[in-house]
Amino acid sequence: MKRMIMLMSLYATLCYTGCTSKKEKKEEATKYSVTTPLKIDTSLTKEYVSQIRSVRNIEIRALEKGYLQNIYVDEGQFVKAGQLLFRIMPKMYEAELAKAVAEAKATAIELQNTETLANKNVVSKNELTMAQAKLDQANAEVTMAKFHLSATEIRAPFDGTIDRIPKKIGSLIDEGELLTSLSDNSQMFAYFNVSEPEYLDYETNVKGRGNPKVSLLLANNQLLPYKGDVETVEGEFDSETGNIAFRAKFPNPEKLLKNGETGKVQMIVPLSNALVIPQKATYEIQDKLYVFIVDKNGTVKSRNISVSAEMPDLYVVGNGLAENDKILLEGVQKVKDDDKIAYEYLAPKEVISRLQLKAE
């Protein structure tokens, strides 16, 4: 009997010890990390989708109608200002010029005869004036014929790169028909759209505005090795998007950039007294961000916050938090409103310095 009582007592002791150990482990498992927002002066790199344009990009069109007799360049070729690009068959215009020159010579002879007769008072001064007017008109026709003939030769108005040439030798070209395009790619414009609040900050907050020296991220995620300058802002907002276009100019000595490319302009924007928190301290419900606030009694309450900017692993808080608010750092998916937790406080500088990944 005594032996049975001793065994039962030992079993009860073991059960009690096991339960106590499990309870202690449970209490240890529910101890969470808590921190506070950090107020710092920092900077943020903002990216804007941009359209890249040549500083000069024009269409080369025919001024005269006729058959395309010669093409002197190839697609993608770099040409110099004044270089001959195309020739429209000039025979008709050469004939028109010869006709105009002949008529001008005949009119000049007629004027000489009229002058002789006018000096002898055979004809009136008005007839002499009319003869002079005819000669002036004939000379104008010569000038016009020379222009038409010269327009059969199409030359480059500036240094640039030839685009596609849709017509081939022998094609009948109409007046005004597109022959090719010419791009001056020595420097490039990058146009990017900025929201109205960002535009107002840029224009009014000179100290806190983005750096006018910007970078260009290309489509292959490589940075252009040259910095650009924000030069100008367009004159009006787009009524549909509410944005306004900025223009930055980039050097392009290797001619890497071409008209029509896309990229992302990167602008460094200073942030003064920014309130930052780790991204892993937040959770999302229906496109809204929340954090858990821990009060002095260790009770958690969810709170909606707004984010004004995003940095690697960090959010810049717009509204919803104060600098001394304690927020749950770990376990945001494991607690709910009004839970009472045990926690340890971690300084925000320490948290951010070792921050690498979001919490699960």
Q: What is the pLDDT of residue 28?
A: 47
Q: What CATH number labels 30-42+273-353? A: 2.40.420.20
Per residue in 253-290, pLDDT tens? 999 999 999 999 999 888 888 899 999 999 999 889 99
Average pLDDT, the chain: 86
Let me know: does 215 contact 265? Beta carbons within 8 Å.
yes
Q: Percent of the chain, pLDDT > 70?
A: 89
H helix intervals, 189-233: 196-204
* 30-42+273-353 and 46-55+186-272 have identical folds: no
More confidently predicted of 108 and 8:
108
Confidence of residue 22 (pLDDT cuts 50, 70, 90): very low
Let me know: does 225 contact 250? Beta carbons within 8 Å.
no
Q: Evaluate if residue 41 carries a pLDDT over 50.
A: yes
More confidently predicted of 75 and 145:
75
Confidence of residue 24 (pLDDT cuts 50, 70, 90): very low
Q: What is the pLDDT of residue 210?
A: 64
Crossing angle of the two packed helices 91-119 and 125-150, in degrees rounded to 10: 160
Q: What is the pLDDT of residue 359?
A: 39
Residues 201 and 196: their CA atoms lie apart, in Å, by 9
CATH class of 46-55+186-272: mainly beta
Task: State how far the alpha carbon of 314 is from the alpha carbons of 115, 256, 278, 301, 311, in Å.
Answer: 94, 35, 5, 21, 5
Task: State how far the alpha carbon of 24 is from the alpha carbons of 11, 19, 20, 299, in Å.
Answer: 20, 9, 6, 20
Q: What is the pLDDT of residue 132?
A: 87
Q: What is the pLDDT of residue 206?
A: 65
Residue 249 is encoded by which pair of tokens?
Answer: 């100019």
Per residue in 209-267, pLDDT tens? 667 889 999 999 999 999 999 999 998 999 889 999 999 999 999 999 999 999 999 99
State whether CATH 1.10.287.470 applies to domain 90-151.
yes
Q: What is the pLDDT of residue 118?
A: 77
Per residue in 280-316, pLDDT tens? 999 999 889 999 999 988 899 999 999 988 888 899 9
Confidence of residue 208 (pLDDT cuts 50, 70, 90): low
Residue 22 is encoded by which pair of tokens?
Answer: 């499990």
Query: Collapsing DSSP states into helix, strand and coil, what is residue 25?
Result: helix
Query: Where exactly are the structural domains of the chain?
Result: 30-42+273-353, 46-55+186-272, 90-151
Answering whether pTM is above 0.75, one says no
- For 283, counting Cβ atoms within 10 Å of its Cβ (0-12 exposed, 13-18 middle, 19+ buried), the class is middle
Lowest mean pLDDT segment, chosen from 39-43, 120-124, 193-197: 120-124
Q: What is the pLDDT of residue 26?
A: 45
Confidence of residue 169 (pLDDT cuts 50, 70, 90): very high
Let me know: does 276 contact 316? Beta carbons within 8 Å.
yes
